[in-house]
Amino acid sequence: MVKSKRFWRPKQRKTYEIDHSAFSAGFHVFADGACEPNPGPGGWGVAVYRDGVELASDHGGDADTTNNRMELTGLLKGIEAAKALGAPTILWCDSQYAVKGANEWMHNWKKRGWKKPGNEELKNIELWQSIDAALSGADQLTIRWCKGHAGIVGNERADELSNMGIAAAIKSYAIQGEETGDYLAAQYRQLMEG
């Protein structure tokens, strides 16, 4: 009997080692955004921590938006919250789009007149411009990426708040006499009925 050779290997999942003690000292702001479905009703959430204890939180939403818009709105609200602290703060966000945009890409977009390479129109331009303005004078702020849904307490709380923002947006939309539509996920229909 001839043994067959393996010409493939199972994909290895990238694992992340999370040092939760990194969030236990100093000021940390966690920002998140969500949309269900995308596009559709969306929400953002921000949670502020000092030495591992939640100090404040905020959330909001929009009945007709996109996931990226809610991630950017969460980032903007997080920047505003961090600046109000007046102390060195790390703002954590699980959106690569928001973090890389703020830390790497925005500078070049601004130099090109808020255009992407090839003179391509930048999506969510008004939010990026607001983020740029909010970062002015935010010398004590560092924006970092964190893995979402990985058990990081502040990130989980910001996610919870963004879902509360979705629920509030749906409820507000329904109160205004608008149809909520068949596109709503079952869990949000239950929130509306409860």
Q: List the catalytic residues.
A: 32-33, 71, 94, 149, 159
The bridge status of strand 89-93 relative to strand 53-65 is: unpaired
| CA separation for the pair 28, 141 (Å, rounded) | 10
Closest CA to 89 of 100, 78, 98, 99: 78
**Amino acid letter for position 153:** V
Cα dihedral 7→9→11→14 (10° resolution) = -130
Name beta bridge partners: 121.
115
**Other Cβ atoms closer than 10 A to 176:** 8
Cα dihedral 92→161→58→69 (10° resolution) = 70
